[in-house]
């Protein structure tokens, strides 16, 4: 299903991907006591001997913060150094996705975060479009997004993604492409692994971080870019019914990039999506290092 990059970073060394293996007794496998990041890399369209990573510093910072929830002190600069060397050793020549992961690596059956070994690995896959680029059909999930008082939602904690998995499979099984989760207050939260934006009357709305959403890096980028383009962007609670009468709705995430929603339940959204397309083109140009004003968002790695 996936074309994995040939080299992985595992147990503090670079080894062939197929040799990076875990014990079936690994603590994190049983208790979801891991946290992950995800970032895209592309060959520089202007320089084939250079790789471009989008907002690498933010991704490393978020993973380091996620590791803190596991009581694991892993500095962001250490993560960045490992990722840079990982890319150089793999020499990718197609768009790809990097998955760094921190986890409790001891063998044992006691759920805990104290007095237990933690580790860090990196692997990658070749990756084109994660969702159909022309848009997706969504349903509201019967599962609710977790609350921050139950899980540290400011981190990408692996155990939390059981809800995403349930919601995604529910959507596919009922004939849709993706799910939209509400929070426990009945407000729109996010999709199975993406943030959500709503366009109404030229204004852009997105659930705020107080709505139990992941603090997405692509989400943050879109908010900044849209405001710089002159759009009013409001972060606030979003009602379910707002999505059904919106002018445009789109999803955002590292894997999904910007993906328009064309249908929610049995409601068809307008086919004309000018703001979505404008933002998608702008973010694409930024990731390809074609926007002078955003060059500090692009990390360059020489092969």
Distance CA 144, CA 162 (A): 11
Question: Which CATH number does 7-126 carry?
Answer: 3.30.470.10
User: What is the Cα gyration radius of the chain?
Assistant: 19
Helices vs strands, H then E, count in the chain? 7, 17
Q: Can you tell me which residue has the tokens 């895209």? A: 40
Beta bridge partners of 235: 206
Can you list the positions of beta strands (E) in 37-183? Answer: 39-44, 47-54, 96-104, 118-126, 136-144, 178-182
Residues of the chain with CATH 3.20.10.10: 136-287
Tokens of 66: 């996620």
Residues of the chain with CATH 3.30.470.10: 7-126
Tokens of 111: 């759920």
Inter-residue contact 35 to 118 (CB < 8 Å) = no
Beta carbons within 10 angstroms of residue 106's beta carbon: 18
Residue 76 DSSP class: H
Residue 256 DSSP class: T
Distance CA 153, CA 215 (A): 8
Distance CA 4, CA 1 (A): 9
Q: How far, in Å, are 38, 176, 243, 260, 270 from residue 267 at the CA level? A: 32, 13, 9, 14, 10
Record: fold of 136-287: D-amino Acid Aminotransferase; Chain A, domain 2 (3.20.10)
Each residue's pLDDT expressed in tens, for the chain with a length of 303 residues = 789 999 999 999 999 999 999 999 999 999 999 999 999 999 999 998 999 999 999 999 999 999 999 999 999 999 999 999 999 999 999 999 999 999 999 998 999 999 999 999 999 999 988 888 889 999 999 999 999 999 999 999 999 999 999 999 999 999 999 999 999 999 999 999 999 999 999 999 999 999 999 999 999 999 999 999 999 999 999 999 999 999 999 999 998 799 999 999 999 999 999 999 999 999 999 999 999 999 999 999 999
Q: For 189-225, write each residue's pLDDT tens digit.
A: 999 999 999 999 999 999 999 999 999 999 999 999 9
Report the pLDDT value the prediction gives residue 100, as an integer from 0 to 100: 98
């Amino acid at each position: 299903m996936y074309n994995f990059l040939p080299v992985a970073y595992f147990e503090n060394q670079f080894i062939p991907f197929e040799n990076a293996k875990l014990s079936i007794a690994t603590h994190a496998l049983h208790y979801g006591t891991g946290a992950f990041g995800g970032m895209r890399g592309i060959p520089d369209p202007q320089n084939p001997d250079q790789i471009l990573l989008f907002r690498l510093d933010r991704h490393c910072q978020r993973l380091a913060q996620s590791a803190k929830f596991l009581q694991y002190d892993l500095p962001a600069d250490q993560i960045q150094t490992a990722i840079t060397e990982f890319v150089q050793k793999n020499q990718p020549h197609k768009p790809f996705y990097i998955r760094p992961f921190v986890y409790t690596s001891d063998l044992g059956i006691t759920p805990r975060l104290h007095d237990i070994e933690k580790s860090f690995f990196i692997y990658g896959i070749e990756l084109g479009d994660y969702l159909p680029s022309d848009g997706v059909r969504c349903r509201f999930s019967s599962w609710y997004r977790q609350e921050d008082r139950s899980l540290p939602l400011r981190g990408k904690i692996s155990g939390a993604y059981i809800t995403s998995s349930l919601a995604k499979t529910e959507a596919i099984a009922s004939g849709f492409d993706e799910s939209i989760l509400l929070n426990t207050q009945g407000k729109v939260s996010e999709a199975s692994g993406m943030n959500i934006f709503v366009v109404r009357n030229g204004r852009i709305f997105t659930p705020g971080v107080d709505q139990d959403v992941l603090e997405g890096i692509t989400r943050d980028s879109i908010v900044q870019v849209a405001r710089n383009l002159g759009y009013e962007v409001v972060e606030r609670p979003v009602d379910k019914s707002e999505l059904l009468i919106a002018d445009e709705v789109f999803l955002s995430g590292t894997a999904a990039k910007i993906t328009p929603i064309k249908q929610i339940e049995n409601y068809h959204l307008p086919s004309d999506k000018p703001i979505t397309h404008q933002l998608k083109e702008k973010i694409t140009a930024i990731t390809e290092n074609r926007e002078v004003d955003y060059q500090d968002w692009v990390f360059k790695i020489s092969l």
